[in-house]
Structure 1
Amino acid sequence: MTNPRHNGLRSVADQSEEERGGPGSVLSRQSRDHADLDALMRAHDAETDPDARGRILAELGERALRHAFAEETVLFPAYRRFLAGADDELTAHIEGDHQRVNDALEALQRSDPRSPEHEETVRGAFAVIRHDAHDEEDDLLPRLQRAVGVEELRAIGAAWEVQRRASPTRPHPRVPRRPPGNVLAGIPLAVTDRVQDAVDHALPVGAGRRRRALPVVPALAAVAVLALGRLLTRRRHR
């Protein structure tokens, strides 16, 4: 038996998938992503090899950034639209936490994994990610669930997944947290991030070929963005 939270609403963490609206509902998608992020944080803490911890942290960072982008471009605007009379303090608070996670992930890319400062930054990022999950599952998502029907929750979930898959994969702390700025900035950043991801995968840190290839990465990214822009322009004029 579960108990309602202080706001009188049941946390989505206490609900079955059917109660949340099925696997495609934004409530279920968010809940699964939160569980995946928590599993990665636990795996990081259980790992003793510094290189393995670094790989887990990189995966966690990408997943957290994708999750936050989908929230900021789809979930939060839907919340503000369907709960027009609600105070915007909750989404503004979570967006502020997203900024803190972005800042932390950017700092971790530059820090020594064996330094005390690195571990302190990791602890801070983990705490914010877990805090956000509780804010969303205990408050924001149940409020949205009360305001809209199952079909709408599934439609929001489908749009959320599209944005999650198309999001940037690296921290960009200076990107706006709200539409349309985050959407407009996210398209070219997602392209450049994937070019950099491909280089990281093909040319590990320390490889001589990587040092020769890195100056070419910005040019390759620019070409990719231009190609995407031309493609989108042709589609609009069809």
Structure 2
Amino acid sequence: MNPIELLDYAGVTVFAATGALAASRKQLDIIGFLFLASVTGIGGGTFRDIILNLPVFWIANSGYVMICAVVAMFVFFAAHRLESRWKLLLWLDAVGLAAFSVMGAAKGLAITGSPVVAVVTGVLTATFGGILRDMLAGEPSVAPETRNLCHRRPRGRHPVYNRRSRRTAAARIGPGGLRRGIPGAWRRTQIRLGLSILQKPPWPAAGRHSVK
């Protein structure tokens, strides 16, 4: 398994977990867990592939759907044992955003060679599944919080794009380009998580699946 596939699987896994945690907070049944986990886990990548006119990734590889199902069932039986699902959701949301933003930007740049498209696909891949999750769960959305999502990029060369020709930039996407993107993704995770933890959970606690 190459680093790009590993990052894609990791992003689907953690976003599926956030969808299942949202279902836990709403005290849904196992079908609700499976639905929210799947929509959150594969929603962003599905939208990305549609706008890039590519085969939808989880149709070509049903393993992604199986990951969402396994994560949903695990969270269904384990979520109520967690001391604070809000903090865990923040961690997973931050990791998922970082992983999917790099993956989405890399795929958009590799397909089109356009940095503008890379930015758009990175943002959509990272946020669309989470926005769907919050809309379907009827919760305040975590993703559009600008003070969480927006921050200055550290000085230096962009992890997946430079000023060379579009062909050269597209050719750089791969394990080497991805390795350059991972440190930036980790910094993005730390910044988002740190800013998010300063806020109180916006969701009300309720019942067996309540959050402290």
TM-score, length-scaled by structure 2: 0.37
TM-score, length-scaled by structure 1: 0.34
Larger radius of gyration: 1
